[in-house]
A and B are shown apart, each in its own frame.
Chain A
Amino acid sequence: MRKLTMIMPLLLAMVLSATAGCSSVKPWVKPYERDRLADPIMSLSRHGKADSYMHHVYQARESARGAEGGSGGGCGCN
């Protein structure tokens, strides 16, 4: 597991830097086709602090922690 914390950043750096050159990849869902994705009902964290509070509830009662997704997300709708 500790090896993972070392290897993963390097691996990701290589993969992401390599794909940076793929400028020929075009968005296949155009901005004008994202009205449904922009709807708040499509948000994985539409309740703000109320969502992160539930992570806190579970972390206090379960051993599992992390990857709750609070920092991720985004649909390119901005």
Chain B
Amino acid sequence: MGVTDRIRQAPVLWAFLVFMVSYSYARAATLPVDSVDVLYHRYDGGGMVIDGPVVLARKSVGPQVSVTGQYYVDAVSAASVDVLATASAYTEERTEYTVGVDYLYDRSIMSLGFTNSSENDFDANTVYFTVSQEFFGGMSTVTLGYAEGWDEVGRIGNDNFSEDADRRNFQFGVSQVLTRNTLVGLDLEVVTDEGYLQNPYRQNRYLDPDDATSFLYQPERYPETRTSTSVAARAIYHLPFRASIRGEYRYFSDTWGIKAHTVELGYVHALNERWTLEGSVRYYSQGEADFYSDLFPYENSQTHLARDKEMSSLSGTTLGTGAVYEWKQTSLPGIKRLQFSLLLDWLNFDYDNFRDVTASGSYLPGEEPLYSFDALVTRASVILEY
């Protein structure tokens, strides 16, 4: 009861903080420029192919208001190791709509928005509010955000199955100009979830009590609450020539016992006024959840049971590359700036405690090869400012 009350009071406190900051500092930025952002994305790896478009349009309405609308599609063809272990390959589509408004008031920007995401067995609604403000002569920017989400989880083949999950996000970010070449940032985000937090299709396995050479499946059973905290530090530096180098580190922990580290380094090199090339490397590692096991010793051996590979200890590496063509002050009528980008990322994930039960060959339970996979992510985008 007390804990629940504290969680409910938190948004009020954040609103108080937003008011205090808005009241204390009366200097800030300008509204984002009118633009259209079109992205084609494709993820191909681990038996999954997911692709589709994203279209974002932004238009100002007078000097103080800017409105946005976004349409996003994920067309999914799924035959991952989780699916093949206990079910059959399938296809589905997720569609997401977002509408938002930014309001410039006394030189601070407040943003309010709503997102709906729907697929045939999952519906999610999110409301978000952020306030962003510059101070100290524009050298510092503080951003505060709050989001609340309501998910409805269904299950194909069982019309009576319907569960709810609620989410709350609390975001705090600061960016700071250090020198004429250096920008640093710090972000903190706390997320709380409550409700049905597991995947209704995934199952975990336990040793068959009647046959030590085989195993049986049972439903997943997760806790009904989760709170996570992420802290990230970033820095970007302009080299003596027209190029930049950036570094990021993020630490994550949650109440399910998972701790994770993310490190990323990136480099952008301008070939000339319009063309830039870029490269990045990212490394991620996490420990497993307290209630995770690849193979439980017997049925219902503990209160909470999970074999979701995303909760295993794992590590991942990403190598990214890209080319960007930017045309400022175009001679095209009504278009102020154009940017074309092609970005390719190769991802590799190695699991330390998730074994591939679909591996060919004859293995005793718990002796199958550890699972790993790689994927290629392609992003092609056009940003048009008008």
Contact = CB atoms under 8 A, between A and B. Distances in A.
Interface of A: 1-6, 8-10, 12-13, 16-17, 20, 25-29, 31, 33-34, 36-37, 39-42, 44, 46-50, 53-54, 57-58, 60-69, 71-78
Interface stretch (B202-210, B254-262, B293-301): B254-262
Nearest to B179: A29
A10 B189 CA distance: 16
Contacts of B132: 71, 74
Contact of A16 (B13, B24, B236, B326): B24
A29 B270 contact: no
Interface of B: 3, 6-7, 9-10, 13-14, 16-17, 20-21, 24-25, 29-30, 37, 39, 41, 43, 54, 56, 70, 130, 132, 134, 136-143, 145, 169-175, 177-181, 183, 185, 187-192, 227-232, 234, 236, 238, 242-244, 246, 248, 250, 252, 254-256, 258, 260, 262, 268, 270, 276, 284, 286, 289, 310-311, 314, 316, 324, 326, 339, 341, 343, 345, 347, 349, 377, 379, 381, 383
B21 A2 contact: no
A72 B381 contact: no
B250 A75 contact: no
Contacts of B260: 62-64
Contact of A61 (B169, B252, B316): B316
Contacts of A68: 187, 232
Prevailing SS type, chain B contact patch: strand
A37 B177 contact: yes
A66 B216 CA distance: 35
Contacts of A66: 169, 171, 189-191, 228-230, 252
Contacts of B316: 61-62
A71 to B, nearest CB: 5
Contact of B10 (A6, A46, A61): A6
Nearest to B140: A76
Given A61-B310, A63-B258, A63-B289, A53 B39 contact: yes
Contacts of B228: 64-66
Nearest to A66: B189
A76 B143 contact: no
Contacts of A31: 137-138
A48 to B, nearest CB: 5
Given A37-B181, A72-B175, 6 more contacts: A5-B6, A37-B177, A47-B379, A63-B311, A66-B171, A76-B140
A8 B172 contact: yes
Contact of A75 (B9, B175, B311): B175
A28 B242 CA distance: 23
B143 A67 contact: no
Contacts of A3: 6
Contacts of B326: 40
B39 A42 contact: no
A30 to B, nearest CB: 8
Nearest to A33: B180
Contact of A54 (B178, B268, B345): B345
B102 to A, nearest CB: 12
Contacts of A49: 37, 39, 54, 56, 70, 381
A36 B13 CA distance: 38
